[in-house]
Amino acid sequence: MRILITGITGRIGANLSRQLIDRGHRVRGLVWPRDPRTENLKKMGVELLDGSLTDQGDVARAVEGVEVVYHLGAAFQGGGPFTDEEYFEINVRGTFNMLEAARKAGGLAHFIFASSDALYDKYVPGGLAEPINELTPRIAKGAYALSKALGEELCNGYWHGHKVPITILRFAMVLAAYEILEFPQFYLSKMKDSVPELSALWKGEESAVLLKDEQGRPFKKHIADVRDIVQGCLCVLGKERAVGETFQLAGPRPFTWDEVSYRLVELLKIPHVEAEVGGSPTFYEFDLSKAQQYIGFSPIYDVVRMIVDAMSYERGEDVGVLPHG
């Protein structure tokens, strides 16, 4: 199939393109003209078109002749800073431009839109008692989350109004395996200035930190390895049952801070501290049953596997993921 990926130079887009090419597909990428992260894509044989999501002509040229669109390109929280206007122009107008081009081109088999778990209110007093699923109310706080909510509405509108065959994938927080060791909330040096309960524990040396809520429960978080997200993107391709649907994607299970902090002590040979902190804790997980039932999504990279692979990556071993940036 002829497939267009926007956001192809990002951690998801680059790894997705490699998997698609390995499966015999022809891949085109729409890239910002000054984006330096194209060398690996050129080596793989990706057709690269310079252009912007905010330019209707660029978008129309990118969509012309393709059968599937993975619309991953966006201004996102980790890539900024972006102004509210930029979130709107890139994420909302850019998605409108993509959908319009798809509608006018005709013959598109699938338009897959990357949304975000930022649409959910995950950090509430006492944590979330029930897993988040696709029917959990969206509460868009901030320009990025609002832009993704509007993107979803555009996709659903083009499905119902113009029969553009869309599928919405809501990604959990995505990390490449090697990035898990850099996650700041695992380390006392990164948290001591933002969490009052931790400042007194700082003795001038790095420590793995075990964060607990006011009930004494270790924090709980549900993220995703980029390899699982790519698998989810591949699972949805060609599935008629997925058209018009929304799916939450994440790792195989949530993790708690105790299993991470003890593992870091063992692997990195650093001390361990723990503290109960006030305010709204990190305590949530996702219900992935819809994605499992509809598209056969079966993630395998839990946090322990990610940490082990991160150590392997640091030793120069191949863990099956392209570096980001």
**Which structure tokens are listed for 94?**
């850019």
Quick one: which of 81, 32, 79 has its CA closest to 53? Answer: 32
pTM above 0.85, yes or no: yes
Note the pLDDT of residue 325.
44
Tokens 């252009």 belong to residue: 51
pLDDT at position 33, please? 76
pLDDT recorded at residue 314: 84
Look at residue 280 and tell me if it is in a domain. no
Whether 85 is in a domain gets the answer yes
- The per-residue pLDDT for 77 is 67
CATH number, domain containing residue 97? 3.40.50.720
Give me the residues of the chain with pLDDT under 50, please.
325
Backbone angles phi, psi at 195, to 5 degrees: -120, 110
**Tens of pLDDT, residues 193-232:** 988 899 999 999 999 999 999 999 999 999 999 999 999 9
Asked, for residue 191, whether it belongs to a domain, the answer is no
Q: Name the amino acid, one letter, at 16.
A: L
For residue 81, the model assigns a pLDDT of 81
Helix (H, G, I), strand (E, B) or coil at 168: strand
- Residue 317 has which token pair? 């071993």
Range of the domain at 34: 2-176+224-252+294-300
Domain assignment present for residue 318? The answer is: no
Residues 6+ apart with CB under 8 A from 301: 177, 224, 225, 227, 228, 251, 252, 309
The verdict on residue 263 lying in a domain is no
Other beta carbons within 10 Å of 290: 16
Q: Count of domains in the chain?
A: 1
Is 107 inside any structural domain?
yes
Q: Please name the residue ranges forming H helices in the chain.
A: 11-22, 39-44, 56-63, 84-86, 94-105, 143-162, 188-191, 196-199, 226-236, 257-268, 289-295, 303-314
DSSP string, 221-283: E--EEHHHHHHHHHHHTT-GGGTT-EEEE--SS-EEHHHHHHHHHHHH---EEEEE--SS--B
